[in-house]
Structure 1
Amino acid sequence: MRILLLCHSFNSLSQRLHVDLRHAGHEVSVELDIHDDLTREAIALFAPDLIIAPFLKRPIPADVWRRTLCLIVHPGIRGDRGPSALDWAILEGEATWGVTLIEAREEIDAGPVWAWAEFPMRATRKSSIYRHEVTEAATACVFKALGRIERSEGPVMPANWGRGRERPACRKSDRVLDPTVQSAEDALRIIHASDGDPGASLTIGGNPFLVFDAGLAAGVSGPPGALVARSRQAVAVAFREGALWIGQLRRPEARSLKLPALHLVGADAATLPVVSGPGPCRYHEEDGVGFLDFRFHNGAMSSGDCDLLREAIVAAKARAPGVLVLRGDADCWSNGIHLGVIESADSAADESWRNINAMNDLVREIIETDDRLVVAAVTGNAGAGGVFLSLAADEVWMRDGVILNPHYKDMGNLYGSEYWTYLLPARVGEDRARRVTQARLPMGIEEAIDLGLATRRLPGDVDAADGELRRAAVALAASPDLAGRIVEKRARRARDEAEKPLAAYREEELRRMRRNFYGFDPSYHVARYNFIRKTPKSRTPVTLAIHRAGDVENDRRRSM
């Protein structure tokens, strides 16, 4: 079937559907919802059998859905209507929620229903529920609908009705935090519902901010509204009852940057007491296995984050276990260098250079671990340098449903480092390495295992994946050939170093990166600026819009 994904941006759900639909044998193209005329042009070029809208912010033109079946993913239960479905579900404490696949009609969210799925809610950030429960439910709904289409069956309901109801968009007033009135738990629910976009409003020290990435601060208290403690880059704010750790802040101005909280409150936090809070790295041992858990917000790793994780690995290597598991967050494993911190620096080029060198030091620390086996437990999505960070380990165990984006080029043709020119060909071969880095397409577990980017499949359910990870790691630590594998690993690394030192790979990569950062071509800096500030795209990349490949070829020929 020819399927066009029409989406506001190529977000995590859109990428998951792109991967799964292509794996199922469908011909899939993508058009970003930039302008109605471009949408019409895309349909004329691609002639899709079906249009799926995983993530839209405005209605599909009537002349489009009247000619071609259009199915819209709505992150709400049957009967729910409106643009803030998941936000309201969190704010109102819904015990269960769901996804409904609705056929486009004049009245938004009211058309025939082709499939639905429900799930229990978790007390967590909106983005986490979206990446897991909503994504799984939406994917299941799409394939249920495809089955009905292939069997020449119609929708399961003539209109969207059920226990849900129509609700307006959340207003700014619905997202305001008032520490004198609200408890920390009440405020946390608002922050969870506002996660990602647009954030919850809070005044700190007389300055307005948008708040993200919060958690309860046990044992911390103070006057409501006051900053009462700090822990690494987070600050604690007191409420009527309890306090919250705030990890990320953004000023309410248009196109402002979301940054670690301490970056923005600055001098106001300088005299705060340092309290043990939510650290990004945690280590424990279990049945002969060392587990090093790490979490960095949205997978972005600043220079300091890279140093912190490297130091945690050094400390873990001083311990006895013969297996070390690096277990990233189930929402995001890593997306490489921290573009937000880089963008906010006095010199973006200098901070880019510091960040990539810190990331390289981290990767080298893993590569040179020669006294134990290292497992990268990729249970969350990964992109760019984060993918190559995982390849520094001996084995990559990947959760079913995770999406990888193992390429840099969309960031202004960035060359990339993290020793990828050593790690990637060693895993997949030279030809496949070129294919991976040039394709610029998201990748699921089937392709990752086929290529060699992943060595073991973990279940899709996060809890089940964690249980299987523990069992497999303990079995690996107890295996009789563990010592032999470590000896073989040490010998292989010595041979590789003798053939070409790691320092040579790093120097070659950084020579190219220096041109990206300091050279005459500003493409990286422009792309980073647009990405961080969410500047709308003016066209769909041809790597996604395969229906536009002919336009690019014609332009190339005309320029010859």
Structure 2
Amino acid sequence: MRILLLCHSFNSLSQRLHVDLRQAGHDVSVELDIHDDVTREAVALFGPDLMIAPFLKRPIPADVWRQTLCLIVHPGIRGDRGPNSLDWAILDGETTWGVTLIEAREELDAGPVWAWAEFPMRATRKSSIYRHEVTEAATACVFKAIERIERRQGPVMPANWGRGRERPACRKSNRALDPALQSPEEALRIIHASDGDPGASLTISGQPFLVFDAELAAGVSGPPGALVARSRQEVAVAFREGALWIGQLRRPEPRSLKLPALYLLGADAAALTAINGPEPCRYQEEGSVGFLHFRFHNGAMSSEDCDLLREAIVAAKARALPILVLRGDGDCWSNGIHLGIIESTDSAADESWRNINAMNELVREIIETDDRLVIAGVLGNAGAGGVFLSLAADEVWMREGAILNPHYKDMGNLYGSEYWTYLLPARVGEDRGRRVTRARLPMGIDEAFELGLATRRLRGNVDVADQELRRAAAELAASSELAGRVAEKRARRARDEAAKPLAAYREEELRRLRRNFYGFDPSYHVARYNFTRKTPKSRTPVSIAVHRAGGNEAERRRPCDD
């Protein structure tokens, strides 16, 4: 079936559908919702049997849905209508929510229903629920609908009705934080509902901010609204009967940057008393296995973050255990260097250089671990340098449903580093390595296994995958073959170093990368600016809009020139 994905942006859900639909054998193309005439042109060029809208912010033109069956993913239960459905579900404390697949009609969210699915809600950030429960439910709904279409069956309901109701867009007042009136738990619910976009509003030290990435600050209190402590880049803000740790802030201005709280609050916050707060890196041991848990917001890793994780690995290596598991966050494993912090500095080129070198030091620390096996537990999505960070480990254990974007080129044709020119060919071979870096397409677990980017499949949701990760790591630690594998690894690393030192790979990569940072071509800087400032796309990249590139699937995956 020819399926066109129409989306406001190629977000995590859109990428998951793109991966799973192609894996199922469908011919899939993507068009970003830029203008009605562009959508009409895409339909004319591709001639889809079905259009799916995973993420839209405005209606599909009537002449388009009258011509082509258009199914809209609505992140709400049956009968729910209007924008901000998931936001309202969190604000209202819904215990069960869902996804409804609705056929486009004149009245928004009111058309025939082709499938639905429900799930229990978690007390967590909107973005996390979207990446997991909403994405899994939406994917299941799409495949149920396709099955009905292929069987020549129609929708399961003539209109969208059920226990849900029509609600307006969330107003600013619904997202406003008032430390004098709200408890930390009440404020946290608003922040969770506003996570990702647009953020919850809060005045700090007389300045307005949008707040993201918060958690309860146990045992911390102070005058409501006051900054009372700091921990690394987070600050504690007092509310009625307690406080919250605030991780990320953004000024309420168009195209402003979301940054760690301490970056935006400046000297006053830096002078706060430092106490123990949320830890980005946490180490624990279970038998003969060391687990290093790490989480960086949206997977972005600044120079300081890279140093922090590297130091945590060094400390973990001081423990004489045969297995070290690098267990990344269930939402994002890593997306490489921190483009937001780079964009915020006086010299983006200098900070880019500092950040990539810090990332290289981290990767080298993992590669040179020769006295044990290192497992990368990739439970969340990974992109760019974050994928190659995982390849520094001996094995990559990947959760079903996680999505990889193992390429740099969409960021202004960035060359990349992280020793990828050593790690990737060694893992998958030269030909497959070129396919990985040049295709510019997201991939799921099946393709990752086919190419050699993943070595073990972790099934189920994050909790189930985590249990399987722990069980498999314990089994590996008890294996009689472990000592031989470690010895083989040490010998292989010595042979590789003799043939070509790691320092040579790094020097070659950085020589190419320096041109991106300091050269005459500004493509990287322009792409980074547009990405971090959320500049709307003016066109759909031909890597995903195959109806604009021409050719079949094999041709689309054919390596291109550097």
Matches of 2:246 and 2:105, distance apart in 1 = 42
Aligned to 2:30: 30
Aligned to 2:322: 322
Residue type at the aligned position of 1:368: E
Matches of 1:153 and 1:136, distance apart in 2 = 23
Residue type at the aligned position of 1:493: R
Correspondence list, 1:481-492, <5 A: 481-492=481-492
Correspondence list, 1:304-323, <5 A: 304-323=304-323
Matched, 1:156 2:156: yes
Residue type at the aligned position of 1:188: L
Aligned to 2:39: 39
Matches of 2:69 and 2:187, distance apart in 1 = 42
Matches of 1:40 and 1:380, distance apart in 2 = 35
> Secondary structure of 1:422's match?
helix
> Structure 1 length as normaliser, TM-score?
0.98
Matched, 1:476 2:476: yes
Aligned to 2:234: 234
Correspondence list, 1:263-302, <5 A: 263-302=263-302
Correspondence list, 1:111-260, <5 A: 111-260=111-260
Aligned to 1:464: 464
Deviation at 1:477, TM superposition (A): 0.5
Deviation at 1:271, TM superposition (A): 2.5
Deviations 1:277-336 (A, max 9, x none): 001000000010000000000000000000000000000000021000000000000000
Residue type at the aligned position of 2:360: N
Deviation at 1:130, TM superposition (A): 0.1
> Secondary structure of 1:208's match?
strand
Deviation at 1:30, TM superposition (A): 0.3
Aligned to 1:339: 339
Residue type at the aligned position of 2:269: A
Deviation at 1:266, TM superposition (A): 1.2
Matches of 2:190 and 2:164, distance apart in 1 = 21
> Secondary structure of 2:266's match?
helix
Deviations 1:352-387 (A, max 9, x none): 000000000000000000000000000000000000
> Structure 2 length as normaliser, TM-score?
0.98
Matches of 1:25 and 1:451, distance apart in 2 = 18
Matches of 2:435 and 2:205, distance apart in 1 = 51
Structure 1: which 4+ aligned runs deviate by more than 3 Å? none
Matches of 2:84 and 2:550, distance apart in 1 = 38
Where structure 1 has 5 or more consecutive residues not aligned to the other structure, the ranges are: 554-560
Residue type at the aligned position of 1:114: W
Matches of 2:255 and 2:28, distance apart in 1 = 32
Aligned to 1:56: 56
Aligned to 2:559: none
Deviation at 1:267, TM superposition (A): 1.4
Deviations 1:511-534 (A, max 9, x none): 011000000000000000000011
> Secondary structure of 1:188's match?
helix
Aligned to 1:8: 8
Deviations 1:421-450 (A, max 9, x none): 000000110001001111000000000001
Residue type at the aligned position of 1:103: E
Aligned to 1:351: 351
Deviations 1:446-471 (A, max 9, x none): 00001100000001311110110000
Matches of 1:284 and 1:25, distance apart in 2 = 43
Aligned to 1:558: none
Matches of 1:45 and 1:207, distance apart in 2 = 50
> Secondary structure of 2:361's match?
helix
Deviations 1:15-61 (A, max 9, x none): 00000000000000000000111111111110000000000000000
Aligned to 1:435: 435
Q: How many residues align?
A: 552
Matches of 1:294 and 1:11, distance apart in 2 = 23
Aligned to 1:17: 17
Deviation at 1:141, TM superposition (A): 0.2
Matches of 1:207 and 1:42, distance apart in 2 = 45
Percent of pairs identical after alignment?
Answer: 87
Deviation at 1:550, TM superposition (A): 4.0
Residue type at the aligned position of 2:538: S
Deviation at 1:349, TM superposition (A): 0.2
Deviations 1:66-111 (A, max 9, x none): 0100000000000000111000000000000000000000000000
Matches of 2:436 and 2:272, distance apart in 1 = 47
Matches of 1:460 and 1:35, distance apart in 2 = 38
Residue type at the aligned position of 2:508: E
Matched, 1:386 2:386: yes
Matches of 2:401 and 2:210, distance apart in 1 = 31
**In terms of mean alpha carbon deviation, does 366-375 or 259-268 score higher?**
259-268
**In terms of mean alpha carbon deviation, does 312-321 or 261-270 score higher?**
261-270
Deviation at 1:503, TM superposition (A): 0.2
Aligned to 2:403: 403
Matches of 1:421 and 1:517, distance apart in 2 = 19
Matches of 2:242 and 2:78, distance apart in 1 = 37
> Secondary structure of 2:76's match?
coil
> Secondary structure of 1:526's match?
helix
Matched, 1:424 2:424: yes
Residue type at the aligned position of 2:450: D
Residue type at the aligned position of 1:47: G
Deviations 1:124-166 (A, max 9, x none): 0000000000000000000000010011000000000000000
Residue type at the aligned position of 2:191: I
> Secondary structure of 1:6's match?
strand
Residue type at the aligned position of 2:103: E
Matched, 1:446 2:456: no
Matched, 1:524 2:524: yes
